Amino acid sequence: MARPWKIRGLDIDRDAASCARTVLLSKFKEMFSYKNDVMRDGGVDAIHDMRVSARRFQTFLVLFRSFLSRKRYKYIRRVFSDLIRRLGRVRTHDVFLAMILGAKGMPREERAVMRGAVLPRQRKKRSFEYRRLVRLLRRLESDAVERTCISFLNEVGE
């Protein structure tokens, strides 16, 4: 599992809004640090790490929602709920595939059926969901959603 980044710049003497901004920006950048790995090869670890960090970001977003305008909060929440959903769909197939490939206690005939019939179908479904995830990430990139969110987060508490 992805280790959370240490949040630099937190200071007890700073106001709450400034600390919220620091935390949200750190978690946002952590989440997007996995984007290139996800888009390049779609490996199980990259998908998992991005999903975990996206869920962490979402948690802090909810926690600090009072520091964002309602409109900006809803925008960021909508965009990243979709991303988390897509990451989750790919991750579900990864877990299922690992379960099929690691089935040790299953009788040989059942294992053969699973690997012969179920495995190819699950790989195809995973591939489909992965392509949808990459399309979403490209759309977020082309629509400048990352930059928009960073500018919104930079205004937290202002």
User: For position 142, what pLDDT does the model report?
Assistant: 83
Average pLDDT over every residue of 22-51: 92
Is residue 27 included in any domain, yes or no? yes
Q: What is the pTM of this model?
A: 0.85
Binned at pLDDT 50, 70 and 90, residue 154 comes out as: confident
Domain count, the chain: 1
Domain containing residue 54: 16-154
Q: Print the SS3 string covering the chain.
A: CCCCCCCCCCCCCCCHHHHHHHHHHHHHHHHHCCHHHHHHCCCHHHHHHHHHHHHHHHHHHHHCHHHCCHHHHHHHHHHHHHHHHHHHHHHHHHHHHHHHHCCCCCCHHHHHHHHHHHHHHHHHHHHHHHHHHHHHHHHHHHCCHHHHHHHHHHCCCC
Is residue 86 domain-resident? yes
**pLDDT-above-70 percentage for the chain:** 94
Q: In this model, does residue 151 exceed pLDDT 80?
A: yes
State mean pLDDT over 106-132.
83
For the segment 65-94, the average pLDDT, to the nearest whole number, is 92
Per-residue pLDDT, 42: 87
